[in-house]
């Protein structure tokens, strides 16, 4: 498939594995120049080697994007390597701390919002002036179905932060119009193993059926999918 992306520079955060690495491979297949980033030097080196083995033009930099100075250094590394940024994929995200309000702290919530929302804003701000006016410039913020549909599976903080990212992305899309940069959010369709919270697992062991479990999780009776969408 020719998406007319040849020689575009694509900066992908959290790209040593999973969705980020899969995105890098897809862009590389279109002839893009790829900038990889991750916190793990070992995983990043393997991802870079894998792409180079396939003939891709790649640069890579270890960075913890919750640290502003490292985020700035990543963007500058991309500009130094390839002269600018055409496409930014904000893929970094995740959760930490207790899954429920009762067993999570203020610091847990701050950390999850930093990881899923604030660092994406930071990367967009840093990359903006290196993307403005470039033909076909675009930002893709990887969100989650958890930001659309409340569920007891996984941590509430993660879903709330992703919901904020979904809203913010639509706002940022308006702000970036004068710069000629498209901004889109992408709830992912990657299936992951079902992770029932402990109280639902206990109910299941007591013999509760899927329908009653779903009612507990959502407040209305319905049959859940075999695996939730992340």
- Does one domain contain both 216 and 185? no
The domain in which residue 23 lies consists of 9-190
Task: Judge if 74 and 18 occupy the same domain.
Answer: yes
Opening angle at CA 87, ends 80 and 55, nearest 5 = 70
- What's the maximum distance between 2 C-alpha atoms anywhere in the chain? 61
pLDDT at 129: 93
First to last CA, the chain: 27
Same domain, residue pair 111 and 221: no
Number of domains in the chain: 2
The pLDDT of residue 48: 98
CA distance 216 to 200: 8
If you ran DSSP here, which 8-state letter would residue 229 be given?
Answer: B
Contact 126/77 with Cβ under 8 angstroms? no
Same domain, yes or no: 31 and 110: yes
Per-residue pLDDT of the chain in tens (230 residues, 90 and over written 9): 788 999 999 999 999 999 999 999 999 999 999 999 999 999 999 999 999 999 999 999 999 999 999 999 999 999 999 999 999 999 999 887 777 778 889 999 899 999 999 999 999 999 999 999 999 999 999 988 777 767 666 677 888 999 999 999 999 999 999 999 999 987 554 444 444 444 444 544 554 443 333 333 333 433 434 444 44
Task: Examine the domain organization and report whether 198 and 132 are in the same domain.
Answer: no
Point out the residues that are catalytic: 158
Please indicate, yes or no, if residue 4 is contained in any of the structural domains.
Answer: no
Contact residues for 209 (Cβ-Cβ < 8 A; gap 6+): none
- The predicted model scores a pTM of 0.79
């Amino acid at each position: 498939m020719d998406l007319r992306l040849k020689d575009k520079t694509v900066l992908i955060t959290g790209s040593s594995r999973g969705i980020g690495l899969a995105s890098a491979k897809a862009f590389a297949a279109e002839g893009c120049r790829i900038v990889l980033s991750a916190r793990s030097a070992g995983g990043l080196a393997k991802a870079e080697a894998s792409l180079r083995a396939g003939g891709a033009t790649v640069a890579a930099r270890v960075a913890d994007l919750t640290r502003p100075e490292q985020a700035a250094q990543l963007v500058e590394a991309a500009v130094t390597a390839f002269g600018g940024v055409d496409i930014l994929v904000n893929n970094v995200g995740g959760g930490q701390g207790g899954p429920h309000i009762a067993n999570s702290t203020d610091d847990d919530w701050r950390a999850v919002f930093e990881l899923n929302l604030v660092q994406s804003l930071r990367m967009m701000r840093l990359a903006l002036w290196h993307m403005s006016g470039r033909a076909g410039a675009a930002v893709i913020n990887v969100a989650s179905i958890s930001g659309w549909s409340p569920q007891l599976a996984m941590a509430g903080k993660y879903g709330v932060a992703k919901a904020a990212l979904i809203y913010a992305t639509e706002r940022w899309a308006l702000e970036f119009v004068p710069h000629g940069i498209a901004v889109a959010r992408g709830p992912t369709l990657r299936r992951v193993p079902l992770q029932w919270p402990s109280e639902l697992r206990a109910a299941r062991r007591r013999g509760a059926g899927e329908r009653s479990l779903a009612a507990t999780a959502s407040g209305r009776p319905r049959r859940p999918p075999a695996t939730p969408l992340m």
